[in-house]
């Protein structure tokens, strides 16, 4: 493992952690963070040593409290700092003396409000002592495997009725890493992903990026076995060269999806005042993303939709897609969005057309189903029709990806069509995405059953088309660079596990 990778690993997998500013006061960040660690330790998830540091307490949540970092017994790898900004330099000096490896400075009140001198001082101490710093002014780290959890936002809130409900959830364990410059956006992302049952490996919020930044984090995640897809929310990148180098490396093995905020004049102005990011010309970012194979998305929803696609499906080896539908209108909407995204809704090969004709003659497809692309099995659709049509289309060598719109409303369609289609799909190495529209129990069941079987399912035809477009863009990048074969080998090896 390279030195930098080893260093950053301490943030996610520390053998020992001290929380400076841990407290008994329930509403304080120092309490919530320490409690997260305590609970994960008791559940057997967090396996490191744990120390509260506070001058004024004897013990917190049953853990003996230490007045200073120097008083903590034994070695100390990671320190989480949750004390007022002006005390942080002093804590850093203690950390240096204690030879800690890394600190996360949750506290705000530094560069982001003009206290640049204070931030410079902190960085200087860290540099001198070889301590890596995350923050300041950040939400820190959440790791679904190791139980490191620095999220200090209230897990529940109280409604006007007096009812207590979940407000900030933790998503289930999974393979998506969230790397975010905005803490608030990051937490919102966790809330979104938890609700959609999409699993997360790591969450890291940078805040002011006084030391560790996106470039180094991407490089670290290249080696992280838990992470298969990286979501990057970014307002501005300081060190362009390092970023391009790291991004070029990581995208060989893992898709990186970027939501770049501050692309318009008003957005850039807001970004400057938010994290002091010099947004720079949007064209430069576009060029950097394209060059390094980073997939830039248009908005928040596309960001998560693409991530889900990459967790479940391989990239497409080309731009040609087929659409199978039981609903004419939605099929057209999907075709429109595919072509708008640069995909090709290709006319089928003669061989494929003949296969469809044969099925019609045998009465296995409706006489008036179109065997053009989109394939419209019509409102008379049955599970068998979807199964047969999917198999034919998967076999067409000129087709690189399949969109399946199985609107559940048609009378004869039974739910077993989902399992049948998934079985067909499992015989091939092409990506497939699904769509069902609606919010009824039946629609929710359809989408969730698809996802259980590894096929990402979307609630609009256009969302499905955009997800397929992401799979194709990345596939074409990998192909151009000569990495596609290796990526697919890894993908299917992991899948078979």
Q: Segment 419-438, which members bind a copy of itself (CB under 8 A)?
A: 437-438
Q: 192-214 in b/e burial notation, b at 16+ Cβ within 10 A? A: bbbeeebebbbbbbbbbbbbbbb
- Omega before residue 274 within 30° of 0, cis: no
* In the complex, least distance from residue 124 CB atom to a copy of itself, rounded to whole angstroms: 24
Name which position in 264, 290, 291, 397 contacts a copy of itself (CB under 8 A): 264
Q: Does 196 bind a copy of itself (CB under 8 A)?
A: yes
Under rule CB under 8 A, which residues in 107-166 are in contact with a copy of itself? 112-113, 152-154, 157-160, 165-166
How far apart are alpha carbons 13 and 10 in whole angstroms? Answer: 5
Q: Does 445 bind a copy of itself (CB under 8 A)?
A: yes
Q: Does 443 bind a copy of itself (CB under 8 A)?
A: yes
How far apart are alpha carbons 472 and 320 in whole angstroms? Answer: 9
How far apart are alpha carbons 407 and 325 in whole angstroms? Answer: 8
By CB atoms closer than 10 A (0-12, 13-18, 19+), residue 58 is exposed
Q: Does 169 bind a copy of itself (CB under 8 A)?
A: yes
Q: Does 188 bind a copy of itself (CB under 8 A)?
A: yes
Nearer of residues 66 and 110 to a copy of itself, judged by Cβ:
110
Nearer of residues 156 and 354 to a copy of itself, judged by Cβ:
156
Q: Are 228 and 257 in contact (CB under 8 A)?
A: no
Q: Are 310 and 363 in contact (CB under 8 A)?
A: no
Nearer of residues 23 and 251 to a copy of itself, judged by Cβ:
23
How far apart are alpha carbons 420 and 411 in whole angstroms? Answer: 18
**Concatenated DSSP letters of 197-222:** T--EEEEEE-TT-SS--HHHHHHHHH
Q: Does 245 bind a copy of itself (CB under 8 A)?
A: no
Name which position in 89, 267, 280, 454 contacts a copy of itself (CB under 8 A): 267
The Cα-based distances of 407 to 302, 445, 492 in angstroms read 21, 12, 29
Name which position in 58, 225, 350, 439 contacts a copy of itself (CB under 8 A): 439
* In the complex, least distance from residue 166 CB atom to a copy of itself, rounded to whole angstroms: 5
Q: Does 387 bind a copy of itself (CB under 8 A)?
A: no
Under rule CB under 8 A, which residues in 309-338 are in contact with a copy of itself? 326-333, 335-338
Interaction mask 217-236, a copy of itself, x per CB under 8 A: ----------------x-x-
Name which position in 61, 63, 96, 185 contacts a copy of itself (CB under 8 A): 185
């Amino acid at each position: 493992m390279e030195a930098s990778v080893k260093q950053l690993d301490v943030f996610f997998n520390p053998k020992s952690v001290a929380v400076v500013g841990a407290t008994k006061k329930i509403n304080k960040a120092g309490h919530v963070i320490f409690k997260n660690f305590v609970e994960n330790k008791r559940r057997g998830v967090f396996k490191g040593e744990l120390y509260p540091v506070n001058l004024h307490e004897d013990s917190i949540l049953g853990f003996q409290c230490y007045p200073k970092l120097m008083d903590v017994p034994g070695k100390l790898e990671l320190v989480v700092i949750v004390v007022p900004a002006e005390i942080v330099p002093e804590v850093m000096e203690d950390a240096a003396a204690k030879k800690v490896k890394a600190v996360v400075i949750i506290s705000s009140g530094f560069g982001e409000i003009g206290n640049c001198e204070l931030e410079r001082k902190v960085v200087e101490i860290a540099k001198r002592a070889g301590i890596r710093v995350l923050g300041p002014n950040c939400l820190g780290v959440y790791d679904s495997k190791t139980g490191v959890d620095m999220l200090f936002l209230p897990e529940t809130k109280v409604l006007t009725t007096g009812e207590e409900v979940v407000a900030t959830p933790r998503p289930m364990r999974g393979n998506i890493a969230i790397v975010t410059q905005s803490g608030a956006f990051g937490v919102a992302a966790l809330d979104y992903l938890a609700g959609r049952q999409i699993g997360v490996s790591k969450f890291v919020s940078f805040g002011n990026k006084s030391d560790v930044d996106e470039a180094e984090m991407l490089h670290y995640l290249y080696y992280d076995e838990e992470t298969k897809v990286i979501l990057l929310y970014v307002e501005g990148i300081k060190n362009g060269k390092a970023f391009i180098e790291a991004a070029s490396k990581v995208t060989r093995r893992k898709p990186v999806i970027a939501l770049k905020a501050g692309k318009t004049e008003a957005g850039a102005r807001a970004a400057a005042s938010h994290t002091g990011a010099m947004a720079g010309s949007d064209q430069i970012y576009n060029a950097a993303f394209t060059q390094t194979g980073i997939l830039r998305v248009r908005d928040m929803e596309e960001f998560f939709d693409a991530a889900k696609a990459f967790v479940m499906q391989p990239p497409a080896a080309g731009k040609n897609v087929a659409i199978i539908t039981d609903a004419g209108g939605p099929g057209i909407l999907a075709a429109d969005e595919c072509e708008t995204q640069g995909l090709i809704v290709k006319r089928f090969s003669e061989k494929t057309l003949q296969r469809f004709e044969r099925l019609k003659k045998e009465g296995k497809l409706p006489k008036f189903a179109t065997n053009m692309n989109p394939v419209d099995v019509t409102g008379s659709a049955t599970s068998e029709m979807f199964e047969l049509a999917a198999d034919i289309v998967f076999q067409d060598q000129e087709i690189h990806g399949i969109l399946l719109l199985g609107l559940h409303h048609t009378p004869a369609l039974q739910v077993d069509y989902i399992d049948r289609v998934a079985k067909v799909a499992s015989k091939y190495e092409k990506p497939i995405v699904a769509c069902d529209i609606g919010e009824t129990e039946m629609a929710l069941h359809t989408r969730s059953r698809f996802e259980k079987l590894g096929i990402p399912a979307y609630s609009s035809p256009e969302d499905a088309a955009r997800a397929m477009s992401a799979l194709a863009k990345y596939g074409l990048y990998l192909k151009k660079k000569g990495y596609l074969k290796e990526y697919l080998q890894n993908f299917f090896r992991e899948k078979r596990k």
